[in-house]
Amino acid sequence: MAGKEHLMKRFKVKLHGENILLNIDGEFKKFGFYATNFIKAENPQEAKKIATILIHRHPNLKDTVLNESTDRPTISVEEIEEVNSLKFFANKSTTRFTFYPEDAE
């Protein structure tokens, strides 16, 4: 298995979440977010799958999203690109979230 690990590629995966219900200071509001994950995988399809699973399990979302099962958030992959080792290792342990209010019209 050590040989397989060496052949893995490194990807930067940008995700977009929408319809995220959060309680901010006692007010329930819908937000969207953008997030970036750095994933090691064999191919872009596997990186996309891993990034989506990890974002669903991330404490910033898992412990704070208040949506009912009939009004679920959506998360999609906006962009995926292969990155070099230096960029990957400099960013691999972080997931950067940028939230925005959805009803800011």
With 90 as the cut, is the pLDDT of residue 14 above it? yes
Full domain range(s) for residue 62: 2-100
Distance (Å, whole) CA 67 – CA 44: 30
pLDDT, tens digit (0-9, with 9 covering 90-100), for 24-74? 899 999 999 999 999 999 999 999 999 999 999 988 888 889 999 999 999
In a domain, 105, yes or no: no
What is the number of domains present in the chain? 1
pTM above 0.85, yes or no: no
Amino acid at 4: K
In a domain, 67, yes or no: yes
With 50 as the cut, is the pLDDT of residue 92 above it? yes
pLDDT, tens digit (0-9, with 9 covering 90-100), for 59-69? 888 888 999 99
In a domain, 13, yes or no: yes
**What confidence score (pLDDT) does residue 3 get?**
52
